[in-house]
Amino acid sequence: MKRWSCDTLIVGSGPGGAMTAALLAEAGVDVLLVEEGAHLSVDSSPDHSLAQMDEKWRSGGLTAALGNPKVTYIEGRCVGGASESNAGLYHPPIDDVLQTWADAYQIADFGPEDLAPHLAYVIDEIGVSKRPDGYSPASERLAEGAEKMGWRWAEIERFWRYGGSGLGNRRSMSETLIPRAVAAGARLEPNTCIDKILRKGRRAVGASGRSVGEAVHVDCQRVIVCAGAVQTPRLLRNSGFSHVGNGLTLNPMVRIVARFPSTVNVPAFGVPVVQIEEFKPQLTIGCSYSAPPHLAMWIEGDATTVRRNLEDWEQMAVFYVKVCGQGTGTVRTTPIFGDALVRYRTHHDDYAMMGIGLEYLAQALFAAGASEVHSPLPGAPALTSAAQSNALRHVLTPRNASLSAIHLHSTVRMGEAADKCGADSFGKLRGADNIWVNDSSLLPTSPGVNPQGTILAIAHRNVGRWLDER
Amino acid sequence: MLLFGWSPLARSALALSMLLGTMVKHFVSEERMRIEPVVQGLVSGLLTDGQHPVPVDSTTAVLVRKIDNMPGLMRFGMRMLLFVFDWYGVFRAGRRFQHSSIEVQQLRIGEWAASPIGPCRDMVEFHRKMGVFVALSIESGERP
């Protein structure tokens, strides 16, 4: 058995864990940062590839929240977490959402003005930018459609650094905060899974798990759990904290394919970055990466239909509608197997909202010159004019909806409202004296925008408070 | 000895559940049940259009690997579904799915794709979506 000791054990190296490790290590704290996945370079596999799915996503990207319907989701599982493979879109949190969180969950010292300096820090230290040479033709079509409909749209910045050519460099955690943490003295242990926090009453005294196939025991003074909205509550529940893992929120997403008379699909541009802003936070409309393998997944129909459509794949692209989900779910531990058991009940209002979103999306695409918009239902005829767009409004039902989600939150909400929040206003776990949470679990609800910037800013805020109190 | 006090129905139910449990444990375990032939039949039936060559073997290998990497409960559920799907062929046409012709396989796939039972539809949908993604990724030069 391996035995390690440290002052502060941080479990999980995604955005929350990386920010926590860097700031604490730079403040002189003896930090051990453990990560279940491997330590890989940011370009160890091509973006959007099969290899990347296997290397950097939990279970090769095949994870699902059970329910009717199930919602597939992805979790990062490597040093740097999801920041190593996601789109890296940066969207500042919406002021009204922050204020609602502060009021409804009684979060102390929290609001748009309180969070602003932390967001500024994130932007300065990690860096966000727009592609200097414009965006993809599919994004241009979406922007054109929004413009013609009179809707606001925006090119979303990314955690990215664009150089002289090509796709630029991802500003992932393994490229930014983790090297800072290590340079400041933090120890990084990849391929290490912590199964349980060891306690004496309310105090954590250590943790146990496995590292590279060998049992490991860690002695520590405090534990900070940053393993994401699924693995964080799983670890805490395994450690006896049964009040967490409720209230899971996510952003259900539905995708459709549209065809244009000219080329819109240029995979070399990478992730399309235009979103329609008009209906946020309830509704986000955007475009997905649409290389042929990705495009084919969303073309409904038999093999002949798929192949026929792919003959002119350059004229087709995948678009999405994402709603700020009103449903909730839970995270538990599966008996016998020991994995996280995620369940989610999609709210009936979300089907209505997704239907409205699909109708709006189709209107925008036709306004931008689309010749066909495919229905998300197998066997349904493609729409060929804007007048048919309202056919999409009531198309989704629990039986036929194929839903996915990228952002999961709210399984250990922060706030002083003890009946709703598993942690206090700064992430300290209720029922424990020296355990904190500092990741997407803390977000009280779905923020309605890409959350990485918000998660990093909240992590920065919380660590600042802990250091002030030290 | 306690069993002697049970009704015949309870004894039958217990025996049946033990038999089923043993069957499940025996056939669905990764050591015993080779899912490759069933997955291969699904890949062929779902992706073959008679005109384009499909990398069936390598796509199957990737899908089997992906199933084996699923979280435990999902992996168990998928293997159970594949097991039931394979033997459902005997019920419908006297032959297991993996031993049927591609035309018969496509009929069975169509029946499950339109099933009122969600997990049955999901099983076919998983192989269709992930299968086409994997096959086209391999066709575009990715190593399986």
C-alpha distances (whole Å) from B4 to each of A345, B10, B11, B17, B120 are 45, 11, 9, 18, 40
Residue A406 carries which side chain, given as an amino acid letter? I
Interface with chain B: mutation pick from A45, A53, A58, A62, highest number of B CBs within 10 Å: A62
**How confident is the model over B3-27, as a mean pLDDT?**
67
Q: What was the ipTM of the complex prediction?
A: 0.91
* Structural domain total, chain A: 2
* Rounded Cα–Cα distance for residues A247 and A327 (Å): 9
Domain residue limits at A422: 2-128+171-244+409-469
Residue A90 carries which side chain, given as an amino acid letter? Y
**Structure letter (DSSP) for residue A71:** E
Alpha helix ranges (H) inside A226-384: 228-238, 292-297, 303-310, 348-367
State residue B1's pLDDT score: 45
CB contact under 8 A, B71 and A337: yes
**Structure letter (DSSP) for residue A54:** H
CB contact under 8 A, B72 and A302: no
The answer, for A51 touching chain B at a CB cutoff of 8 Å, is yes
Q: Residue A333 falls within a domain, yes or no? A: no
**What band does A165 get if pLDDT is binned at 50, 70 and 90?**
low
What Rg value do the Cα atoms of chain A yield, rounded? 22
Do A143 and A50 sit in the same domain of this protein? Answer: no
Tens-digit pLDDT profile for residues A228-248: 999 999 999 999 999 999 999
Do A320 and A416 sit in the same domain of this protein? Answer: no
The answer, for B47 touching chain A at a CB cutoff of 8 Å, is yes
CB contact under 8 A, B133 and A296: yes
Residues of A in contact with B124 (CB under 8 A): none
The answer, for A303 touching chain B at a CB cutoff of 8 Å, is yes
Residue A277 carries which side chain, given as an amino acid letter? E
* Rounded Cα–Cα distance for residues A146 and A275 (Å): 9
**What band does A377 get if pLDDT is binned at 50, 70 and 90?**
confident
The answer, for A184 touching chain B at a CB cutoff of 8 Å, is no
**Structure letter (DSSP) for residue A175:** G
**Facing residue for B47 by CB, picked from A64, A303, A310:** A303
Q: Are strands A187-189 and A31-34 parallel, antiparallel or unpaired?
A: parallel
The answer, for A340 touching chain B at a CB cutoff of 8 Å, is yes
State residue A166's pLDDT score: 60
* Rounded Cα–Cα distance for residues B137 and A293 (Å): 6
CB contact under 8 A, A334 and B71: yes
Strand arrangement of the beta sheet that strand A203-211 belongs to: A2-5, A214-219, A203-211, A192-200
Do A218 and A264 sit in the same domain of this protein? Answer: no
**How confident is the model over A215-221, as a mean pLDDT?**
98
Question: Does residue B27 register a pLDDT over 60?
Answer: no
* Rounded Cα–Cα distance for residues B36 and B42 (Å): 10
CA dihedral defined by A29, A32, A33, A39, rounded to 10 degrees?
A: 130
**How confident is the model over A55-64, as a mean pLDDT?**
95
Catalytic residue among A48, A91, A407, A460: A407
Q: Which of A230, A247, A249 is nearest to A422 (CA)?
A: A247
Do A418 and A305 sit in the same domain of this protein? Answer: no
* Rounded Cα–Cα distance for residues B70 and A57 (Å): 11
* Average pLDDT over chain B, rounded to an integer: 87
State residue A25's pLDDT score: 98
Strand arrangement of the beta sheet that strand A340-345 belongs to: A340-345, A328-333, A246-250, A408-409
Place of tokens 């120890």: A187
**Structure letter (DSSP) for residue A38:** B
Do A111 and A156 sit in the same domain of this protein? Answer: no
CB A217 within 8 A of CB A2: yes
Do A79 and A176 sit in the same domain of this protein? Answer: yes
* Rounded Cα–Cα distance for residues A363 and A361 (Å): 5
Question: Does residue A277 register a pLDDT over 80?
Answer: yes
The share of chain B scoring above pLDDT 70, in percent, equals 85
The answer, for B46 touching chain A at a CB cutoff of 8 Å, is yes
Residue A159 carries which side chain, given as an amino acid letter? F
The share of chain B scoring above pLDDT 90, in percent, equals 65
Tens-digit pLDDT profile for residues B48-97: 988 888 999 999 999 999 999 999 989 999 999 999 999 999 999 899 99
- Residue in chain A closest to B67 (alpha carbons) equals A62
Tens-digit pLDDT profile for residues A315-347: 999 999 999 999 999 999 988 888 999 999 999
Residues of B in contact with A341 (CB under 8 A): 73
State residue A283's pLDDT score: 95
C-alpha distances (whole Å) from A53 to each of A47, A56, A85, B69 are 9, 6, 9, 11
State residue A52's pLDDT score: 95
Task: Give the number of residues written for chain A.
Answer: 470
**Structure letter (DSSP) for residue A386:** G
Helix B36-47 crosses helix B102-113 at what angle (to 10 degrees)?
A: 90
CB contact under 8 A, B134 and A50: yes
Residues of B in contact with A399 (CB under 8 A): 118
Residues of B in contact with A70 (CB under 8 A): 122
CB contact under 8 A, B69 and A303: no
**Facing residue for B66 by CB, picked from A60, A293, A302:** A60
Tokens of A142: 């979406």
Q: Residue A337 falls within a domain, yes or no? A: no
Do A288 and A373 sit in the same domain of this protein? Answer: yes
Tokens of A184: 């400041």
Sorted by sequence, the CB contacts under 8 Å of residue A215 that are 6+ apart come out as A1, A2, A208, A209
CB A284 within 8 A of CB A322: yes
* Rounded Cα–Cα distance for residues A277 and A151 (Å): 7
Query: Residues A97, A99, A100, CA angle at the centre, nearest 5°?
Result: 65
CA A62 from chain center: how many Å? Answer: 15
Do A66 and A98 sit in the same domain of this protein? Answer: yes
**β partners of residue A318:** A257
C-alpha distances (whole Å) from A317 to each of A143, B36, B137, B138 are 14, 33, 17, 20
Of A400, A422, A445, which closes a domain? A400
CB contact under 8 A, A340 and B49: no
CATH of the domain at A306: 3.30.410
Do A280 and A305 sit in the same domain of this protein? Answer: yes
**Structure letter (DSSP) for residue B117:** S
- Residue in chain B closest to A308 (alpha carbons) equals B49
Q: Are strands A435-437 and A316-323 parallel, antiparallel or unpaired?
A: unpaired
* Rounded Cα–Cα distance for residues A215 and A218 (Å): 10
The answer, for A200 touching chain B at a CB cutoff of 8 Å, is no
Question: Does residue A51 register a pLDDT over 70?
Answer: yes
**How confident is the model over A149-173, as a mean pLDDT?**
87
Do A360 and A388 sit in the same domain of this protein? Answer: yes
Is position A407 annotated as part of the catalytic site?
yes
Q: Residue A329 falls within a domain, yes or no? A: no
* Rounded Cα–Cα distance for residues B113 and B97 (Å): 15
CB contact under 8 A, B140 and A50: no
The share of chain A scoring above pLDDT 70, in percent, equals 99
CB contact under 8 A, B71 and A60: no
Do A239 and A285 sit in the same domain of this protein? Answer: no
CB contact under 8 A, B48 and A303: yes
Of A400, A420, A441, which closes a domain? A400
Question: Does residue A43 register a pLDDT over 60?
Answer: yes
Q: Residue A336 falls within a domain, yes or no? A: no
* Average pLDDT over chain A, rounded to an integer: 95
CB B14 within 8 A of CB B21: no
CATH of the domain at A456: 3.50.50.60
The answer, for A287 touching chain B at a CB cutoff of 8 Å, is no
**Structure letter (DSSP) for residue A326:** -
- Residue in chain A closest to B129 (alpha carbons) equals A297
Q: Which of A362, A369, A356 is nearest to A386 (CA)?
A: A362
